[in-house]
Structure 1
Amino acid sequence: MNPIRLGYLYGLGAYLLWGFFPLYLKLLRPAGPMEILAHRIVWSVAFVALLLAAMRNVGFLRALLRRPRALAGIAAAAALIAVNWGTYIYGVNSDRVVETALGYFINPLVSVLLGVFVLQERLRPAQWAALGVGALAVAVLTVDYGRLPYLALTLAFSFACYGFVKKRLGLPAAEGLFVESAVLALPALAYLGWLSLRGDSAFGHVSTGHTVLLVLAGAATAIPLLLFAGAANRLPLSGLGMLQYLAPILQLGCGVLIFHEPMPPARLAGFALVWLALIVFTADALRQAHQSRTRPRTPTDSQPPVPTPTAP
């Protein structure tokens, strides 16, 4: 199969799985958000360890242990992704899927903010316009909710910071997920043990199907990331960037159409402003990518970074 076509198939597979992830998380109740998060971490380690063993790819750990700065970066990435996962699980299982979708819509705009304040990047006028419209959207949604949409902002900022750290580390998807989950595995196991001692654990006490679904949380975490890695290796940046909006669109659809969460006019107006900001942002990015392809390249030109996945 043509590599580009295969890349789009991988990308669609990843974003479809992420888009319908709220349906899976709802099935894990009555387990609480922290218990679901702990199982997701523990079974991710187990699943990816088996995968790496099958690929005979465990030598990277020895090299990694000789890089203390990389280990510190992995610990930071692990903490950020734990915050992101935990917030997302809490949002879905507290019937706020629409707000979690908002977080992943505004995530690209937060990434641009990081570029300005952390990397001192200079923005183009269209990017400033997109950020301004995005800020207005947050203000409108704050009025609608009667509070800051803190779940959405936590998801957006935690994942943008996670993507920033991951770009600096440069670890492949499977290896990165294994090490990050391994960092969190001991606290997760300790928490699950404490729940079990208290008699509050849902694992093994609801039904066989529920127990199997908790175990499958590791595969549900790893498979979309591996599909995304396959897409990132084959697709141009513009194609991958367009696909990333599929997941929050599907999540929003799940919240409104399947879980019947409210979407009053003011909230719809806030989302419309977010979409307008993303249209401006994406159009500018596509125009810039086209100009980069058409102008003669020099040896000093750098390749654009591959965007991190918009993943719950």
Structure 2
Amino acid sequence: MRAQQASAAQVGIICAIAAYTMWGIAPIYFKQLTVLPAAEILMHRVIWSVLVLVGLIAGLKQWAKVAAALRNKKVMQVLFVAGILLGANWLLFIWAVNNDHILDASLGYYINPLINVFLGRLFLGERLRTFQRVAVVLAIVGVAILIFSYGRVPWIALILAGSFSIYGILRKQVAVDSLPGLFIETLMLSPLAIGYWLLFGSEYSNLFNNDASLNMLILAAGVVTTAPLLCFTAAARRIMYSTLGFLQYIGPTLMFVLAVYLYDEPLDEARLITFGFVWLALAVFSVDSLIAYKKQRKALRASVQAAKSISETQTS
């Protein structure tokens, strides 16, 4: 049993690294599509994702879960709002990448877990531990330094982080697996995508006018969307959520490296100080998560041992 658990954990870690690596290097893919407007790239991402997801759901036999969600009016309402948020998040990310704001996108996904904690306190009534409060304050200080230095709010980072955090809170409210949920969300966005294609599509909207390499990149949008999600789902089922939380920083770290060393985005002193505060906040946040996890494990072992002792006493 332990050997099976260890093997499953190894597979889970590999899947998590693969998922966050794919998300982290996604800017390389979107940079190849700069000839298209961001909205048109989003359009292709939605349409081809729906087709890929149809195949995956059929192959994994999850149509029953899709049907159950479709019959629930409340679930559909939440998924509709979640889908709009997800589409807006995708659109802003694509625009940021193709307009040389990868550093802002990286900052957004770094502060995303901290905003998750803040919104959990605000909307779900979750209590913040001392170190969590310290981490949130450090992140706020970092963002404030950027605001005072530039005289403007880092809106790309904040909207990316905020929209994805709210999306996560909404998805927590409905008992729908990630794959059927993503399928329904993209399916509800598809009429908007098709309408954009017909009414506002650029000269590249007619795939018959494009060369094969551009069409291959366009069609790959579905795989680029679904492949990391599948890896993430596989990882979430096999490893602890705390481990998954530590590995999530692979994505924004890769974006940071790409922005600075591949695409030569300016990293001035104020922005570097902001990243420094955010990195420090994440270090505090991660240590707090590790301490809390160890306490939970210790309490669980104690309760199991106590139950075992009571059972043995009753038996004797």
Question: Is this contact kept in 2: 1:203–1:214, CA < 8 A?
Answer: no
* 2:72 matches 1:71: no
1:250 aligns with 2:254: yes
**Partner secondary structure for residue 287 of structure 2:** helix
Q: What secondary structure does 2:63 align onto?
A: coil
Distance 1:115 1:267, change over 3 A: same
- 1:219–1:225 CA distance, 2 compared to 1 (3 A): same
Letter in 2 for 1:162: Y
List aligned pairs for 1:1-312, cutoff 5 A. 2-196=7-201, 199=203, 201=205, 203-296=207-300
Does structure 2 retain, via aligned residues, the 8 Å contact 1:31–1:202? no
Q: Aligned to 2:173, what secondary structure does the other structure show?
A: helix
Query: How many residue pairs end up in the alignment?
Result: 298
Inter-partner Cα distance in structure 1 for 2:242 and 2:70? 35
1:39 CA drift (Å): 0.5
Letter of the structure 1 residue corresponding to residue 255 of structure 2: Q
| C-alpha distance 204-34 of structure 1, shift in aligned 2 (>3 A) | farther
Q: What's the offset of the Cα at 1:124?
A: 1.3
Instruction: Name which of structure 1's ranges 32-41 and 118-127 shifts more when overlaid on structure 2.
Output: 118-127
Please say if residues 131 and 277 of structure 1, whose CA atoms lie closer than 8 Å, have aligned partners that are also in contact. yes
Instruction: Name the SS of the counterpart of 1:295 in structure 2.
Output: helix
Higher Rg of the two aligned structures: 2
User: Counterparts of 2:16 and 2:232 in 1: how far apart (Å)?
Assistant: 5
CA distance in 1, matches of 2:247, 2:286: 11
**Cα 1:205–1:142 shift into 2, 3 Å:** farther
Distance in 2 (alpha carbons) for counterparts of 1:97 and 1:258: 11
Rounded to whole Å, the distance in 2 between the matches of 1:137 and 1:88 is 21
Q: State the distance in 2 between where 1:273 and 1:42 align.
A: 39
Deviations along 1:112-153, whole A, 9 cap, x unmatched?
111111012221111111111111011111233331000000
Q: What is the RMSD computed on CA atoms of the aligned residues? A: 1.6
Gap regions ≥5 residues in structure 1: 300-312
Distance in 2 (CA, whole Å) between partners of 1:251 and 1:103 is 11
Q: Give the superposition deviation at 1:27.
A: 0.5
Identity over aligned pairs, percent: 36
Residue number in structure 2 paired with 1:306: none
Query: Retained in 2: the 8 A contact 1:142–1:148?
Result: yes
Q: Conserved in 1, the CA contact under 8 Å of 2:9 and 2:238?
A: yes
**Matched residues in 2 for 1:288 and 1:203: separation?**
53
The residue type equivalent to 1:49 in the other structure is V
Is 243-252 or 173-182 further displaced after alignment? 173-182
Q: Distance in 2 between matches of 1:123 and 1:250?
A: 29
**Most deviating of 242-251 and 164-173:** 164-173
Paired residues of 1:138 and 1:149 also in contact (CA < 8 A):
yes
1:29 shift after superposition: 1.6
* Structure 2 CA distance for aligned equivalents of residues 52 and 121 of structure 1: 34
TM-score scaled by length of structure 2: 0.91
CA distance in structure 1 between the partners assigned to 2:174 and 2:70 by the alignment: 14
Gaps of 5+ in 2: 305-316
Higher relative helix content: 2
Amino acid at match of 1:110: I
Q: Is the 8 A contact 2:103 2:255 kept in 1?
A: yes
Question: How far off its partner does 1:60 sit?
Answer: 2.3
Moved over 6 A (4+): none
State the Cα deviation string for residues 216-261 of structure 1 (Å, max 9, x = none): 1011100100100000001012211100000000001110010000
